[in-house]
Amino acid sequence: MPASLRPTKIVGMDLNERAEQLCQRLVERADELRIEVTTGEAGTRIIDCGVAAGGGLAAGLGLASVCMADLGTVELVPGDPWIWAGPAVAVATDHPVAACMAAQYAGWQITGENFFGMGSGPMRAAAGREDLFDDIGHLEQPDVAVGVLETSQLPPAEVCVDIAAACRVPPDKLTLLVARTASQAGTLQVVARSVETACHKLHELGFHLSRLVSGYGVAPLPPVASEDLDGIGRTNDAVLYGARVTLWVRGDDASLEAIGERVPSSASRDHGEPFATIFARYDHDFYAIDPHLFSPAWVSLNNLETGSCFEFGELRPDVLEASFGGA
């Protein structure tokens, strides 16, 4: 691992410890947030933000903040009516590698008997299962682990045990927050990944992430779908066709100009149709879709060393209308 990417504790705490403290605050406000807190058979604390529980906007903001290990701000802001006449989700962080790559990125497929969920949050840094961590570091050996599952059902005991074992903590030291995509909280937390998608795309293109200093992104919040599959389509479209991301970086201008046009979603051969249409064309196989599609619609790179700013991509309100306006 390059020395410049070796992990350091931020304000004296691991990512999982930071997320655990935020979870405690959410639990104290459970009734207000319309979330349900239970202890599973294995002893794992499960915070339902949008499966059986009603959840809501505030629960979604909390869920997204836990995903980022509380290393950024997530808020609802007025949307741009030219893009979509509704609210938008704004995300800002001064720790984009730790918050977005070591924690928020949904890089862990969680499976069990009749169970599937996409895992994100700082528990990934405890498990270190992904090749990504060979590059970014931030591996942890925490006393507690905290994760977020995008799933339509609460995780059974055997899934909790498996996750805890991968994170090297007892099951009763694991906290899992869950929400289905077709819920207010689930929709919001997915749309809050605008900066994360830009960071991940840069990593896939070979950009040295130690150059990233700060990130800000805003993406339209789509209507909550009635079914998870439709929700997956709408939330992806919010980022692919409506997200605007600004990254503050260091280094030379030439490399930014060379890589910039490859960062936004418009660089993909699959760009231009609603995600639901693309997904169906590939028989609902995420891995068959061009991986270059998964990035924000528009990206600005601001070089702190030279003062230069480069903009790439395009916003597509026409695709958002087709996606969000559907039945």
Question: For the segment 114-136, what is each residue's pLDDT rounded down to a tens digit?
Answer: 999 999 999 999 999 888 898 88
**pLDDT per residue as tens digits for the range 232-246:** 999 999 999 999 999
Q: Where are the chain's structural domains?
A: 3-324
The identity of residue 274, as a single letter, is P
| Whole-number percent of the chain with pLDDT over 70 | 95
Q: Strand 309-313: give its sheet, edge to edge.
A: 73-78, 87-93, 212-220, 244-249, 298-303, 309-313
* 134-138, 261-265, 284-288, 293-297, range with the lowest pLDDT: 134-138
> What residues contact residue 25 under an 8 Å CB cut-off, 6+ apart?
none
Closest residue by Cα to residue 271 from 286, 258, 290: 290
Q: In this structure, what token pair is assigned to residue 299? A: 């990206």
Summary mean pLDDT of the chain: 93
The identity of residue 247, as a single letter, is L
Host H or E run for residue 215:
strand 212-220
**What's the CATH code, domain 3-324?**
3.30.1030.10
Are 112 and 161 in contact by the 8 Å Cβ rule? The answer is: no
3-class secondary structure per residue, 300-321: EEEECCCCCEEEEECCCHHHHH
Closest residue by Cα to residue 107 from 134, 71, 80, 70: 134
Are 282 and 49 in contact by the 8 Å Cβ rule? The answer is: no
**How high is the pLDDT of residue 13?**
63
**pLDDT per residue as tens digits for the range 302-315:** 999 999 999 999 99
**pLDDT per residue as tens digits for the range 16-67:** 999 999 999 999 999 999 999 999 999 999 999 999 999 999 999 999 999 9
**pLDDT per residue as tens digits for the range 250-280:** 999 999 999 999 999 999 999 999 999 999 9
Closest residue by Cα to residue 253 from 300, 204, 305: 305
The identity of residue 291, as a single letter, is P
Strands (DSSP E) found in 134-195:
145-150, 174-179
In the predicted model, what is the mean pLDDT of residues 190-206? 97
The span from the CA of 65 to the CA of 71, in Å, is 7
- Cα–Cα distance list, 207 to 96, 124, 135, 140, 204 (Å): 14, 22, 11, 24, 7
